[in-house]
Structure 1
Amino acid sequence: MSDWIAAIILGVVEGITEFIPVSSTGHLLLTKSLLGLPNGFWDTFTVLIQLGAILAVVALYFGKLWKVLIGLPTSAEARAFAISVLIAFIPGAVAGLTLHDVIKTILFESPRLICWSLIIGGFVLLALDRWAPAPRESDAMALTWKTSLVVGLFQTLALIPGVSRSGATIVGSMLMRVEKRAAAEFSFFLAIPTMAGAFAVDLYKNKDLLSVDQAGVIAVGFAVSFIVGFIFIRTLVDFVGRHGFAPFAWWRIVVGAGGLVWLAMASQ
Protein backbone atom coordinates (compact mmCIF):
# COMPACT_ATOMS: atom_id res chain seq x y z
CA MET A 1 0.00 0.00 0.00
CA SER A 2 1.30 3.44 -0.90
CA ASP A 3 1.92 6.07 1.77
CA TRP A 4 -0.62 8.36 0.09
CA ILE A 5 -3.47 5.84 0.38
CA ALA A 6 -2.50 5.09 3.97
CA ALA A 7 -2.54 8.84 4.74
CA ILE A 8 -6.04 9.20 3.27
CA ILE A 9 -7.37 6.20 5.20
CA LEU A 10 -5.90 7.44 8.48
CA GLY A 11 -7.19 10.96 7.76
CA VAL A 12 -10.73 9.62 7.31
CA VAL A 13 -10.48 7.59 10.51
CA GLU A 14 -9.23 10.64 12.42
CA GLY A 15 -11.93 12.94 11.07
CA ILE A 16 -14.70 10.49 11.94
CA THR A 17 -13.50 9.51 15.41
CA GLU A 18 -11.86 12.62 16.91
CA PHE A 19 -15.03 14.13 18.33
CA ILE A 20 -17.08 11.08 19.16
CA PRO A 21 -16.35 9.12 22.35
CA VAL A 22 -14.74 6.12 20.67
CA SER A 23 -11.02 7.09 20.93
CA SER A 24 -9.52 8.49 17.75
CA THR A 25 -6.02 7.52 18.91
CA GLY A 26 -7.10 3.96 19.58
CA HIS A 27 -8.76 3.68 16.17
CA LEU A 28 -5.76 5.25 14.43
CA LEU A 29 -3.30 2.88 16.09
CA LEU A 30 -5.44 -0.18 15.37
CA THR A 31 -5.86 0.96 11.75
CA LYS A 32 -2.12 1.52 11.47
CA SER A 33 -1.56 -2.01 12.75
CA LEU A 34 -4.14 -3.47 10.34
CA LEU A 35 -2.48 -1.67 7.42
CA GLY A 36 0.90 -3.07 8.45
CA LEU A 37 2.48 0.38 8.79
CA PRO A 38 5.76 0.53 10.73
CA ASN A 39 6.21 2.37 14.02
CA GLY A 40 8.16 5.61 14.27
CA PHE A 41 6.96 8.02 11.59
CA TRP A 42 3.42 6.63 11.45
CA ASP A 43 2.97 6.92 15.22
CA THR A 44 3.92 10.59 14.94
CA PHE A 45 1.70 10.96 11.85
CA THR A 46 -1.35 9.83 13.85
CA VAL A 47 -0.75 12.66 16.33
CA LEU A 48 0.07 15.37 13.80
CA ILE A 49 -3.05 14.91 11.66
CA GLN A 50 -5.28 15.38 14.70
CA LEU A 51 -4.66 19.11 14.40
CA GLY A 52 -6.55 19.05 11.09
CA ALA A 53 -9.69 17.85 12.84
CA ILE A 54 -9.20 20.42 15.60
CA LEU A 55 -9.06 23.22 13.02
CA ALA A 56 -12.49 22.02 11.88
CA VAL A 57 -13.78 22.99 15.35
CA VAL A 58 -12.20 26.43 14.98
CA ALA A 59 -13.83 26.85 11.57
CA LEU A 60 -17.29 25.78 12.73
CA TYR A 61 -17.25 27.74 15.99
CA PHE A 62 -15.26 30.68 14.67
CA GLY A 63 -18.04 33.19 15.39
CA LYS A 64 -18.34 32.19 19.05
CA LEU A 65 -14.59 31.91 19.56
CA TRP A 66 -13.92 35.27 17.91
CA LYS A 67 -16.56 36.89 20.09
CA VAL A 68 -14.80 35.48 23.17
CA LEU A 69 -11.40 36.64 21.94
CA ILE A 70 -12.39 40.24 21.26
CA GLY A 71 -14.51 40.30 24.43
CA LEU A 72 -11.70 39.30 26.81
CA PRO A 73 -10.79 42.91 27.79
CA THR A 74 -14.39 43.97 28.50
CA SER A 75 -16.61 40.91 29.02
CA ALA A 76 -16.66 39.00 32.31
CA GLU A 77 -18.46 36.12 30.55
CA ALA A 78 -15.74 35.86 27.90
CA ARG A 79 -13.00 35.83 30.54
CA ALA A 80 -14.86 33.24 32.62
CA PHE A 81 -15.18 30.94 29.59
CA ALA A 82 -11.50 31.33 28.67
CA ILE A 83 -10.46 30.59 32.25
CA SER A 84 -12.74 27.54 32.43
CA VAL A 85 -11.11 26.07 29.31
CA LEU A 86 -7.64 26.86 30.70
CA ILE A 87 -8.46 25.19 34.02
CA ALA A 88 -9.69 22.08 32.19
CA PHE A 89 -6.62 22.08 29.94
CA ILE A 90 -3.92 22.24 32.64
CA PRO A 91 -4.20 18.71 34.20
CA GLY A 92 -3.88 16.99 30.83
CA ALA A 93 -1.05 19.27 29.75
CA VAL A 94 0.98 18.54 32.88
CA ALA A 95 0.32 14.79 32.69
CA GLY A 96 1.04 14.69 28.95
CA LEU A 97 4.37 16.48 29.27
CA THR A 98 5.38 14.28 32.19
CA LEU A 99 4.38 10.95 30.65
CA HIS A 100 4.92 11.64 26.92
CA ASP A 101 7.76 9.14 26.45
CA VAL A 102 5.97 6.39 28.39
CA ILE A 103 2.81 6.93 26.36
CA LYS A 104 4.58 6.82 22.98
CA THR A 105 7.02 3.96 23.71
CA ILE A 106 4.83 1.66 25.82
CA LEU A 107 1.12 2.45 25.66
CA PHE A 108 1.04 3.19 21.92
CA GLU A 109 2.56 -0.23 21.26
CA SER A 110 -0.08 -2.22 23.13
CA PRO A 111 -3.03 -3.10 20.85
CA ARG A 112 -4.57 -5.30 23.56
CA LEU A 113 -4.61 -2.39 25.99
CA ILE A 114 -6.37 -0.29 23.36
CA CYS A 115 -8.99 -2.99 22.76
CA TRP A 116 -9.72 -3.46 26.46
CA SER A 117 -9.91 0.30 26.95
CA LEU A 118 -12.46 0.51 24.13
CA ILE A 119 -14.59 -2.25 25.64
CA ILE A 120 -14.49 -0.95 29.23
CA GLY A 121 -15.17 2.61 28.08
CA GLY A 122 -18.14 1.35 26.08
CA PHE A 123 -19.77 -0.15 29.15
CA VAL A 124 -19.06 3.06 31.12
CA LEU A 125 -20.87 5.08 28.43
CA LEU A 126 -23.82 2.68 28.46
CA ALA A 127 -24.12 3.04 32.22
CA LEU A 128 -23.80 6.82 32.07
CA ASP A 129 -26.37 7.10 29.30
CA ARG A 130 -28.87 5.27 31.50
CA TRP A 131 -28.05 6.49 35.00
CA ALA A 132 -26.45 9.93 34.57
CA PRO A 133 -27.48 12.44 37.29
CA ALA A 134 -30.01 15.07 36.30
CA PRO A 135 -28.25 17.98 34.54
CA ARG A 136 -27.89 21.41 36.19
CA GLU A 137 -25.69 23.15 33.60
CA SER A 138 -26.73 23.48 29.96
CA ASP A 139 -24.38 26.13 28.52
CA ALA A 140 -20.96 24.85 27.42
CA MET A 141 -19.61 28.40 27.58
CA ALA A 142 -20.71 29.02 31.17
CA LEU A 143 -19.49 26.03 33.19
CA THR A 144 -18.32 26.62 36.74
CA TRP A 145 -14.59 26.45 37.38
CA LYS A 146 -15.11 23.45 39.69
CA THR A 147 -16.83 21.58 36.85
CA SER A 148 -14.05 22.54 34.45
CA LEU A 149 -11.38 21.23 36.82
CA VAL A 150 -13.14 17.87 37.20
CA VAL A 151 -13.52 17.62 33.42
CA GLY A 152 -9.81 18.37 33.05
CA LEU A 153 -8.90 15.65 35.54
CA PHE A 154 -11.03 13.18 33.61
CA GLN A 155 -9.27 14.21 30.40
CA THR A 156 -5.96 12.89 31.81
CA LEU A 157 -7.43 9.37 31.55
CA ALA A 158 -7.36 9.80 27.78
CA LEU A 159 -3.57 9.56 27.84
CA ILE A 160 -4.26 5.81 27.79
CA PRO A 161 -4.92 4.95 24.12
CA GLY A 162 -8.43 3.63 23.69
CA VAL A 163 -9.97 5.63 26.53
CA SER A 164 -11.00 8.57 24.27
CA ARG A 165 -10.35 12.21 25.06
CA SER A 166 -13.87 13.26 24.13
CA GLY A 167 -15.33 10.26 25.96
CA ALA A 168 -13.43 11.03 29.16
CA THR A 169 -14.37 14.71 29.13
CA ILE A 170 -18.02 13.95 28.36
CA VAL A 171 -18.19 11.42 31.20
CA GLY A 172 -16.62 13.94 33.59
CA SER A 173 -19.02 16.66 32.45
CA MET A 174 -22.14 14.54 32.81
CA LEU A 175 -21.10 13.31 36.25
CA MET A 176 -20.86 17.00 37.17
CA ARG A 177 -24.45 17.40 35.92
CA VAL A 178 -23.74 19.02 32.58
CA GLU A 179 -26.40 18.40 29.94
CA LYS A 180 -25.10 15.97 27.30
CA ARG A 181 -25.23 18.39 24.35
CA ALA A 182 -23.31 20.98 26.37
CA ALA A 183 -20.88 18.26 27.48
CA ALA A 184 -20.15 17.42 23.84
CA GLU A 185 -19.67 21.10 22.93
CA PHE A 186 -17.31 21.77 25.85
CA SER A 187 -15.32 18.73 24.74
CA PHE A 188 -14.94 20.40 21.32
CA PHE A 189 -13.69 23.65 22.86
CA LEU A 190 -11.26 21.85 25.18
CA ALA A 191 -9.91 19.89 22.22
CA ILE A 192 -8.49 23.06 20.66
CA PRO A 193 -5.70 23.81 23.19
CA THR A 194 -5.27 20.15 24.12
CA MET A 195 -4.61 18.84 20.64
CA ALA A 196 -2.68 21.93 19.57
CA GLY A 197 -0.39 21.31 22.54
CA ALA A 198 -0.06 17.60 21.72
CA PHE A 199 0.78 18.53 18.13
CA ALA A 200 3.51 20.96 19.21
CA VAL A 201 5.09 18.56 21.73
CA ASP A 202 5.07 15.60 19.37
CA LEU A 203 6.43 17.66 16.49
CA TYR A 204 9.30 18.93 18.64
CA LYS A 205 10.18 15.56 20.19
CA ASN A 206 10.01 13.67 16.88
CA LYS A 207 11.39 16.23 14.46
CA ASP A 208 14.31 13.92 13.70
CA LEU A 209 11.88 11.27 12.41
CA LEU A 210 10.39 13.66 9.88
CA SER A 211 11.76 14.72 6.52
CA VAL A 212 10.78 17.09 3.74
CA ASP A 213 9.77 14.07 1.63
CA GLN A 214 7.08 13.21 4.18
CA ALA A 215 5.55 16.69 4.24
CA GLY A 216 3.16 15.87 1.39
CA VAL A 217 1.89 12.71 3.09
CA ILE A 218 1.29 14.62 6.34
CA ALA A 219 -0.47 17.41 4.44
CA VAL A 220 -2.84 14.91 2.80
CA GLY A 221 -3.74 13.29 6.12
CA PHE A 222 -4.14 16.74 7.69
CA ALA A 223 -6.48 17.96 4.93
CA VAL A 224 -8.59 14.80 4.91
CA SER A 225 -9.02 14.87 8.70
CA PHE A 226 -10.09 18.54 8.48
CA ILE A 227 -12.71 17.92 5.80
CA VAL A 228 -14.17 14.77 7.37
CA GLY A 229 -14.07 16.30 10.86
CA PHE A 230 -15.89 19.41 9.60
CA ILE A 231 -18.68 17.26 8.19
CA PHE A 232 -19.06 15.12 11.32
CA ILE A 233 -19.03 17.94 13.88
CA ARG A 234 -21.94 19.64 12.11
CA THR A 235 -24.22 16.67 12.85
CA LEU A 236 -22.75 15.27 16.07
CA VAL A 237 -24.36 17.56 18.65
CA ASP A 238 -27.86 17.03 17.24
CA PHE A 239 -27.24 13.27 17.01
CA VAL A 240 -26.19 13.13 20.66
CA GLY A 241 -29.25 15.15 21.66
CA ARG A 242 -31.53 12.64 19.94
CA HIS A 243 -29.80 9.32 20.56
CA GLY A 244 -27.44 9.83 23.49
CA PHE A 245 -24.12 7.97 23.67
CA ALA A 246 -25.34 4.37 23.47
CA PRO A 247 -24.57 3.99 19.72
CA PHE A 248 -20.95 5.03 20.35
CA ALA A 249 -20.75 2.73 23.36
CA TRP A 250 -21.74 -0.27 21.28
CA TRP A 251 -19.34 0.83 18.53
CA ARG A 252 -16.51 0.80 21.09
CA ILE A 253 -17.46 -2.64 22.36
CA VAL A 254 -17.72 -4.16 18.87
CA VAL A 255 -14.42 -2.65 17.69
CA GLY A 256 -12.60 -3.64 20.89
CA ALA A 257 -13.93 -7.20 20.80
CA GLY A 258 -13.15 -7.49 17.10
CA GLY A 259 -9.65 -6.24 17.73
CA LEU A 260 -9.07 -8.84 20.44
CA VAL A 261 -10.28 -11.60 18.09
CA TRP A 262 -7.99 -10.33 15.32
CA LEU A 263 -5.00 -10.20 17.70
CA ALA A 264 -5.72 -13.74 18.90
CA MET A 265 -5.89 -15.02 15.33
CA ALA A 266 -2.72 -13.14 14.36
CA SER A 267 -0.77 -14.67 17.24
CA GLN A 268 -1.58 -18.25 16.20
Structure 2
Amino acid sequence: MSYWHAIILAIIEGLTEFLPVSSTGHMIVASALLGIPITDFTKLYLVVVQLGAILSVLAVYWRRFFQSFDFYLKLLVAFLPIVGVGFFLKKYIDALLESVGVVAFMLVLGGIVLLFIDRWFPQRHAEADEVAVTNPSFRQAFVIGVFQCLAVVPGTSRSAATIIGGLSQRLTRQAAAEFAFFLAMPTMLAASVKDFYDYYKEAKTHGIDVGNLFSAEQIKQLAVGNAVAFVVALLAIRLFVGFVAKNGFRAFGIYRIIVGGLLLLMLALKLNLQLV
Protein backbone atom coordinates (compact mmCIF):
# COMPACT_ATOMS: atom_id res chain seq x y z
CA MET A 1 0.00 0.00 0.00
CA SER A 2 1.43 3.36 -1.01
CA TYR A 3 1.31 6.64 0.90
CA TRP A 4 -1.37 8.01 -1.47
CA HIS A 5 -3.43 4.84 -1.15
CA ALA A 6 -3.47 5.42 2.61
CA ILE A 7 -4.70 9.01 2.17
CA ILE A 8 -7.44 8.02 -0.30
CA LEU A 9 -8.70 5.32 2.07
CA ALA A 10 -8.62 7.81 4.97
CA ILE A 11 -10.73 10.31 3.01
CA ILE A 12 -13.25 7.57 2.20
CA GLU A 13 -13.31 6.57 5.87
CA GLY A 14 -13.89 10.12 7.07
CA LEU A 15 -16.71 10.69 4.59
CA THR A 16 -18.52 7.41 5.24
CA GLU A 17 -17.90 6.51 8.89
CA PHE A 18 -21.05 8.23 10.15
CA LEU A 19 -23.20 7.47 7.13
CA PRO A 20 -25.26 4.24 7.09
CA VAL A 21 -23.37 3.01 4.00
CA SER A 22 -20.50 0.99 5.58
CA SER A 23 -17.15 2.75 5.75
CA THR A 24 -15.29 -0.56 5.94
CA GLY A 25 -17.18 -1.85 2.92
CA HIS A 26 -16.26 1.25 0.92
CA MET A 27 -12.60 0.93 1.90
CA ILE A 28 -12.56 -2.76 0.92
CA VAL A 29 -14.07 -1.93 -2.47
CA ALA A 30 -11.67 0.99 -2.95
CA SER A 31 -8.74 -1.25 -2.06
CA ALA A 32 -9.84 -3.75 -4.68
CA LEU A 33 -10.33 -1.07 -7.36
CA LEU A 34 -6.96 0.51 -6.56
CA GLY A 35 -5.23 -2.87 -6.62
CA ILE A 36 -4.03 -2.62 -3.01
CA PRO A 37 -2.75 -6.04 -1.82
CA ILE A 38 -4.65 -7.45 1.17
CA THR A 39 -1.75 -7.88 3.60
CA ASP A 40 -1.78 -8.07 7.40
CA PHE A 41 -0.87 -4.37 7.51
CA THR A 42 -3.67 -3.44 5.10
CA LYS A 43 -6.22 -5.25 7.28
CA LEU A 44 -4.82 -3.46 10.33
CA TYR A 45 -4.99 -0.10 8.56
CA LEU A 46 -8.64 -0.58 7.53
CA VAL A 47 -9.56 -0.92 11.21
CA VAL A 48 -7.17 1.54 12.85
CA VAL A 49 -7.86 4.43 10.44
CA GLN A 50 -11.45 4.40 11.69
CA LEU A 51 -10.16 5.52 15.09
CA GLY A 52 -9.19 8.90 13.63
CA ALA A 53 -12.69 9.45 12.31
CA ILE A 54 -14.26 8.32 15.57
CA LEU A 55 -12.19 10.81 17.58
CA SER A 56 -14.00 13.60 15.73
CA VAL A 57 -17.01 12.70 17.89
CA LEU A 58 -15.05 13.81 20.95
CA ALA A 59 -14.20 17.10 19.25
CA VAL A 60 -17.80 17.82 18.20
CA TYR A 61 -19.65 16.53 21.29
CA TRP A 62 -17.04 17.04 24.01
CA ARG A 63 -19.58 18.66 26.37
CA ARG A 64 -21.73 15.50 26.31
CA PHE A 65 -18.85 13.52 27.81
CA PHE A 66 -19.13 15.55 31.00
CA GLN A 67 -22.89 15.25 31.45
CA SER A 68 -23.12 12.31 33.90
CA PHE A 69 -21.55 9.05 35.01
CA ASP A 70 -24.65 7.20 33.72
CA PHE A 71 -23.60 8.23 30.22
CA TYR A 72 -20.48 6.07 30.50
CA LEU A 73 -22.31 3.19 32.14
CA LYS A 74 -24.83 3.10 29.29
CA LEU A 75 -22.02 3.11 26.74
CA LEU A 76 -20.43 0.20 28.61
CA VAL A 77 -23.69 -1.76 28.61
CA ALA A 78 -24.13 -1.13 24.87
CA PHE A 79 -20.49 -2.02 24.21
CA LEU A 80 -20.51 -5.44 25.94
CA PRO A 81 -22.36 -7.45 23.23
CA ILE A 82 -19.80 -6.63 20.52
CA VAL A 83 -16.98 -7.69 22.86
CA GLY A 84 -18.31 -11.23 23.01
CA VAL A 85 -19.05 -11.42 19.30
CA GLY A 86 -15.68 -9.96 18.35
CA PHE A 87 -13.82 -12.34 20.66
CA PHE A 88 -15.40 -15.50 19.25
CA LEU A 89 -15.66 -14.48 15.59
CA LYS A 90 -12.41 -12.52 15.05
CA LYS A 91 -10.90 -14.99 12.58
CA TYR A 92 -14.10 -15.15 10.52
CA ILE A 93 -14.40 -11.36 10.49
CA ASP A 94 -10.81 -11.01 9.21
CA ALA A 95 -11.59 -13.46 6.41
CA LEU A 96 -14.65 -11.42 5.38
CA LEU A 97 -12.44 -8.31 5.06
CA GLU A 98 -11.11 -9.82 1.84
CA SER A 99 -14.51 -10.34 0.19
CA VAL A 100 -15.90 -7.68 -2.14
CA GLY A 101 -18.80 -10.04 -2.86
CA VAL A 102 -19.92 -10.04 0.78
CA VAL A 103 -19.72 -6.24 0.87
CA ALA A 104 -21.78 -5.90 -2.33
CA PHE A 105 -24.50 -8.27 -1.09
CA MET A 106 -24.75 -6.57 2.32
CA LEU A 107 -24.87 -3.11 0.71
CA VAL A 108 -27.92 -4.17 -1.30
CA LEU A 109 -29.58 -5.94 1.63
CA GLY A 110 -28.99 -3.03 3.98
CA GLY A 111 -30.18 -0.61 1.32
CA ILE A 112 -33.51 -2.42 1.05
CA VAL A 113 -33.92 -2.13 4.83
CA LEU A 114 -33.17 1.61 4.75
CA LEU A 115 -35.81 2.14 2.05
CA PHE A 116 -38.49 1.16 4.56
CA ILE A 117 -36.92 2.21 7.87
CA ASP A 118 -38.63 5.62 7.90
CA ARG A 119 -42.00 3.88 7.46
CA TRP A 120 -41.29 1.34 10.20
CA PHE A 121 -39.97 3.95 12.59
CA PRO A 122 -41.47 7.35 11.68
CA GLN A 123 -39.75 10.50 12.87
CA ARG A 124 -40.37 11.33 16.51
CA HIS A 125 -40.08 14.79 18.00
CA ALA A 126 -39.37 14.94 21.71
CA GLU A 127 -41.38 18.10 22.19
CA ALA A 128 -44.49 16.65 20.49
CA ASP A 129 -44.33 12.89 21.04
CA GLU A 130 -44.70 11.66 24.60
CA VAL A 131 -42.98 8.33 23.80
CA ALA A 132 -40.03 9.90 21.97
CA VAL A 133 -36.69 9.13 23.62
CA THR A 134 -33.64 11.38 23.58
CA ASN A 135 -31.66 9.54 26.27
CA PRO A 136 -31.81 5.71 26.24
CA SER A 137 -32.28 3.63 29.36
CA PHE A 138 -29.85 0.84 30.28
CA ARG A 139 -32.12 -1.77 28.69
CA GLN A 140 -32.44 0.27 25.52
CA ALA A 141 -28.66 0.80 25.43
CA PHE A 142 -28.12 -2.96 25.62
CA VAL A 143 -30.55 -3.58 22.76
CA ILE A 144 -28.73 -1.00 20.65
CA GLY A 145 -25.48 -2.82 21.45
CA VAL A 146 -26.98 -6.08 20.23
CA PHE A 147 -27.91 -4.41 16.96
CA GLN A 148 -24.33 -3.18 16.63
CA CYS A 149 -23.18 -6.82 16.49
CA LEU A 150 -24.77 -7.11 13.03
CA ALA A 151 -22.03 -4.83 11.75
CA VAL A 152 -19.28 -7.45 12.12
CA VAL A 153 -20.19 -8.42 8.53
CA PRO A 154 -18.48 -5.94 6.17
CA GLY A 155 -20.96 -3.91 4.16
CA THR A 156 -23.60 -3.90 6.91
CA SER A 157 -22.52 -0.55 8.41
CA ARG A 158 -21.97 -0.17 12.14
CA SER A 159 -23.62 3.24 11.98
CA ALA A 160 -26.71 1.86 10.24
CA ALA A 161 -27.06 -1.09 12.61
CA THR A 162 -26.81 1.01 15.77
CA ILE A 163 -29.04 3.79 14.44
CA ILE A 164 -31.72 1.25 13.51
CA GLY A 165 -31.30 -0.23 16.97
CA GLY A 166 -31.89 3.21 18.46
CA LEU A 167 -34.96 3.83 16.31
CA SER A 168 -36.37 0.46 17.37
CA GLN A 169 -36.11 1.74 20.95
CA ARG A 170 -38.12 4.88 20.07
CA LEU A 171 -35.17 7.26 20.03
CA THR A 172 -35.51 10.32 17.84
CA ARG A 173 -33.44 10.23 14.64
CA GLN A 174 -30.94 12.72 16.06
CA ALA A 175 -30.64 10.88 19.38
CA ALA A 176 -30.22 7.51 17.62
CA ALA A 177 -27.50 8.91 15.35
CA GLU A 178 -25.65 10.60 18.20
CA PHE A 179 -25.74 7.54 20.45
CA ALA A 180 -24.34 5.53 17.52
CA PHE A 181 -21.49 8.05 17.30
CA PHE A 182 -20.76 7.80 21.03
CA LEU A 183 -20.86 4.00 21.00
CA ALA A 184 -18.38 3.98 18.12
CA MET A 185 -15.64 5.37 20.36
CA PRO A 186 -15.17 2.40 22.76
CA THR A 187 -15.98 -0.04 19.96
CA MET A 188 -13.35 1.21 17.53
CA LEU A 189 -10.79 1.82 20.27
CA ALA A 190 -11.15 -1.79 21.41
CA ALA A 191 -11.01 -3.04 17.83
CA SER A 192 -7.85 -1.05 17.16
CA VAL A 193 -6.12 -2.27 20.33
CA LYS A 194 -7.11 -5.88 19.54
CA ASP A 195 -5.81 -5.61 15.97
CA PHE A 196 -2.54 -4.06 17.12
CA TYR A 197 -2.11 -6.90 19.61
CA ASP A 198 -2.88 -9.57 16.99
CA TYR A 199 -0.47 -7.89 14.56
CA TYR A 200 2.22 -7.91 17.25
CA LYS A 201 1.54 -11.53 18.19
CA GLU A 202 1.68 -12.65 14.54
CA ALA A 203 4.97 -10.81 14.03
CA LYS A 204 6.42 -12.35 17.17
CA THR A 205 5.64 -15.87 15.96
CA HIS A 206 7.71 -15.09 12.85
CA GLY A 207 10.64 -13.88 14.93
CA ILE A 208 10.20 -10.20 14.03
CA ASP A 209 11.64 -7.80 16.59
CA VAL A 210 9.06 -5.53 18.29
CA GLY A 211 11.00 -2.47 17.18
CA ASN A 212 10.59 -3.51 13.56
CA LEU A 213 6.84 -4.16 13.56
CA PHE A 214 6.25 -1.21 11.23
CA SER A 215 8.41 0.42 8.62
CA ALA A 216 8.89 4.20 8.67
CA GLU A 217 6.50 4.42 5.71
CA GLN A 218 3.82 2.38 7.51
CA ILE A 219 4.06 4.56 10.63
CA LYS A 220 3.63 7.62 8.44
CA GLN A 221 0.61 6.03 6.73
CA LEU A 222 -1.07 5.27 10.07
CA ALA A 223 -0.40 8.75 11.45
CA VAL A 224 -1.39 10.74 8.36
CA GLY A 225 -4.33 8.44 7.61
CA ASN A 226 -5.85 8.97 11.05
CA ALA A 227 -5.27 12.73 10.85
CA VAL A 228 -6.95 12.94 7.45
CA ALA A 229 -9.88 10.77 8.58
CA PHE A 230 -10.31 12.98 11.66
CA VAL A 231 -10.48 16.24 9.68
CA VAL A 232 -12.81 14.86 6.98
CA ALA A 233 -15.10 13.29 9.59
CA LEU A 234 -15.37 16.62 11.41
CA LEU A 235 -16.89 18.09 8.26
CA ALA A 236 -19.17 15.11 7.62
CA ILE A 237 -20.64 14.45 11.05
CA ARG A 238 -22.70 17.63 11.40
CA LEU A 239 -23.99 17.44 7.84
CA PHE A 240 -25.19 13.88 8.39
CA VAL A 241 -27.13 14.60 11.60
CA GLY A 242 -28.89 17.56 10.02
CA PHE A 243 -29.72 15.67 6.83
CA VAL A 244 -31.09 12.59 8.60
CA ALA A 245 -33.18 14.60 11.06
CA LYS A 246 -34.83 16.38 8.14
CA ASN A 247 -34.91 13.78 5.34
CA GLY A 248 -34.61 10.32 6.87
CA PHE A 249 -32.68 7.35 5.46
CA ARG A 250 -34.28 6.60 2.09
CA ALA A 251 -31.56 8.37 0.07
CA PHE A 252 -28.91 6.22 1.72
CA GLY A 253 -30.91 3.09 0.93
CA ILE A 254 -31.07 4.01 -2.76
CA TYR A 255 -27.33 4.76 -2.78
CA ARG A 256 -26.49 1.41 -1.18
CA ILE A 257 -28.63 -0.54 -3.64
CA ILE A 258 -27.08 1.24 -6.64
CA VAL A 259 -23.49 0.76 -5.45
CA GLY A 260 -24.05 -2.81 -4.29
CA GLY A 261 -25.88 -3.69 -7.52
CA LEU A 262 -23.07 -2.27 -9.66
CA LEU A 263 -20.50 -4.24 -7.68
CA LEU A 264 -22.47 -7.47 -8.06
CA LEU A 265 -22.76 -6.81 -11.80
CA MET A 266 -19.01 -6.21 -12.05
CA LEU A 267 -18.29 -9.42 -10.17
CA ALA A 268 -20.71 -11.36 -12.38
CA LEU A 269 -19.15 -10.01 -15.57
CA LYS A 270 -15.69 -10.87 -14.34
CA LEU A 271 -16.84 -14.39 -13.53
CA ASN A 272 -18.38 -14.78 -16.99
CA LEU A 273 -15.17 -13.60 -18.63
CA GLN A 274 -13.24 -16.17 -16.67
CA LEU A 275 -15.60 -18.91 -17.75
CA VAL A 276 -15.19 -17.91 -21.40
With normalisation by structure 1, the TM-score equals 0.91
Identity of aligned residues (%): 42
Rg larger for: 2
Q: 2:90 aligns with which of 96, 100, 103?
A: 100
Query: Quick one: which amino acid aligns to residue 3 of structure 1?
Result: S
Q: Cα distance, 1:131 vs. partner?
A: 2.3
Do structure 1's residue 137 and structure 2's residue 132 form an aligned pair? yes
Aligned to 2:78: 88
Contact 1:107/1:113 (<8 A) preserved: yes
Over the residues paired in the alignment, what is the CA RMSD in angstroms?
Answer: 1.5
* Counterparts in 2 of 1:134 and 1:4: CA distance versus 1, 3 Å: closer
Q: Answer whether contact 2:57 2:181 (CA < 8 A) is retained.
A: yes
Aligned length: 254
Check whether the contact 2:123–2:173 (CA below 8 A) recurs between aligned residues: no
Instruction: Tell me the residue number matched to 1:57.
Output: 57
Between stretches 200-209 and 4-13, larger displacement belongs to 200-209
SS at match of 2:51: helix
1:197 matched to 2:190? The reply is yes
The answer on whether the counterparts of 1:32 and 1:42 sit within 8 Å (CA) in structure 2 is no
Question: d(CA) in 1 for partners of 2:123 and 2:20?
Answer: 20
Distance 1:245 1:203 in 2: 34
1:133 CA drift (Å): 5.5
CA distance in 2, matches of 1:45, 1:79: 33
In structure 2, what is the equivalent of residue 251 of structure 1? 255
What are structure 1's unaligned runs of at least 5 residues?
A: 69-77
Amino acid in structure 1 at the alignment position of 2:108 = I
1:117 maps to 106
Q: Which runs of 5+ in 2 are unaligned?
A: 125-130, 204-212
**What is the Cα deviation at residue 182 of structure 1?**
0.8
Residue aligning to 2:206: none
1:1-268 matches, within 5 Å, as 3-40=2-39, 41-65=41-65, 67-68=66-67, 78-104=68-94, 106-132=95-121, 135=124, 136-139=131-134, 142-207=135-200, 208=202, 210-213=213-216, 214-267=218-271, 268=273
Cα separation, partners in 2 of 1:16 and 1:159, compared to 1, 3 Å? same
Which secondary structure state, in structure 2, belongs to the residue aligned with residue 138 of structure 1? coil
Distance in 2 (alpha carbons) for counterparts of 1:57 and 1:134: 23
Task: After the TM superposition, list the runs of 4 or more consecutive aligned residues in structure 1 that deviate by more than 4 angstroms.
Answer: none
Give the structure-2-normalised TM-score: 0.88
Q: Structure 1 CA distance, aligned partners of 2:132 and 2:194?
A: 33
The alpha carbon displacement at 1:260 in A equals 0.9
Distance 2:142 2:123 in 1: 20
